[in-house]
Chains A and B, each alone.
Chain A
């Protein structure tokens, strides 16, 4: 049974529908105790980092997620759920969960510049883009070169330890789109809206 962490994230229902379609049992819960005792957790997300962290704290889910991670419960983060697992986000200058060391940063051009140079790339990065595996992971084992996923975001996760980056995409430069450590894995793209290659990530997670 997979537990979907309910913190008012916009794509919660979409993720549940995708799991239903795959025949993977799941439940939605906002209860910290349910999260602590979960078999597996999906941490979805659409929205802004500051607001997301505020809801997590208000519901006591921040502490529950940290404990679940330490306890070794498999966790899959999606979109904002891939960003606020880091220490800090430039969005809303928000302090985040810190499950992994690192910062969620705004798209810059060129990537890596210290400030925005020229807005010739449209932000948010919205649409389908190719994902390249840089460090194999069981959740991405089905990917073939050129497979594309659906993205909608203006910020991306940058772990401090580059060994935690499992896949990248290219948008004016390469940026991390799948990160993880131990029992935690997180993707910037919307696996629940990326057709069959996306659904396969969820299927892989159910077997991980």
Chain B
């Protein structure tokens, strides 16, 4: 059977690594290529690079990061942030990414998912969604709303309905990022993750809130996620990939254990 994947997300601003906490107050913590190599050596399964560069003048820096990663890191990785057109997607794929990660631009223009899926195949298109818990309403029957622009703009769109629509349009995977849980290190949003995982047939990657290995266990079992995204747990050196995987394997989760060389 497939292993559950441990994926790390690296937020990149102007070519430097940053980690956002509830989408504000980002702190510079180093070179994304160095971090990527370190996690690759530890046995990470996949990487996501999210470009949070504010100025479009500096977008070219990201392509350089992507291509340097591709030369040194031999696991799959996706790139997101600021991808608005199929041409934008094509540039990061040519630079060496396996997948593109679309978010706000896909909410504003769902056709982007379909176009990118047609151009590169569904396996290359990851739909990332930022989700806020809200009171249930006729418009938001599940009580989870899609927000865009880094969590600032609520869209009046039900997250579960959007997940299904994303799959229909041709997304090959979903990243479900809970804004309520993001940066709290108190655990993933299990209910949200499970609702999405039960609504679609494509892989679901849980994001936001991972602080301890048991949080990953919870979201990979009760939350029914296929993969879990970790950021600060790794970025601040609190855990290694190996420690997280050993813990999960010890509790019966199938994960890829990278064997020592020699």
Contacts and interface: CB of A to CB of B under 8 A. Distances in A.
Interface in A52-72: none
Interface string B224-258: 00110000000000000000000000000000111
A138 interface: no
A21 B123 contact: no
For chain B, give the interface size range: 20 to 34
A48 B121 CA distance: 9
Contacts of A21: 71-72, 74
Interface stretch (A30-38, A101-109, A122-130): A122-130
Contacts of A10: 93, 120-121, 124
A23 interface: no
Given A126-B172, A128-B256, A193 B123 contact: no
A171 B254 CA distance: 13
B123 A127 contact: no
A19 to B, nearest CB: 11
Contacts of A170: 1
B261 interface: yes
B3 A144 contact: no
Interface stretch (A82-90, A156-164, A178-186, A195-203): A195-203
Contacts of B1: 129, 170-171
B98 interface: yes
B211 interface: no
B92 to A, nearest CB: 12
B99 to A, nearest CB: 9
A13 interface: yes
A70 B74 CA distance: 32
B13 interface: no
Contact of A150 (B76, B122, B258): B76
B94 A13 contact: yes
B2 interface: yes
A192 B226 CA distance: 23
B2 A128 contact: yes
Nearest to A150: B76
A20 interface: yes
A21 B123 CA distance: 25
Contact of A195 (B40, B122, B172, B226): B40
A148 B40 contact: no
Interface in A110-138: 119, 122-130
Contacts of B72: 21
B112 interface: no
Contacts of A99: none
B173 A126 contact: yes
B70 A122 contact: no
A47 interface: yes
A24 interface: no
B3 A122 contact: no
Given A14-B96, A47-B121, A195-B75, A119 B5 contact: no
Given A14-B96, A128-B45, 15 more contacts: A10-B121, A13-B70, A17-B70, A18-B74, A20-B71, A21-B72, A48-B121, A122-B202, A126-B173, A127-B45, A128-B5, A128-B256, A144-B259, A150-B76, A196-B258
The 6 tightest CB contacts between A and B, nearest first, are: A148-B256, A127-B2, A128-B256, A128-B3, A152-B123, A193-B76
13 contacts: A10-B93, A47-B121, A123-B201, A124-B123, A125-B2, A126-B172, A127-B5, A127-B45, A127-B203, A128-B5, A150-B75, A193-B74, A193-B98
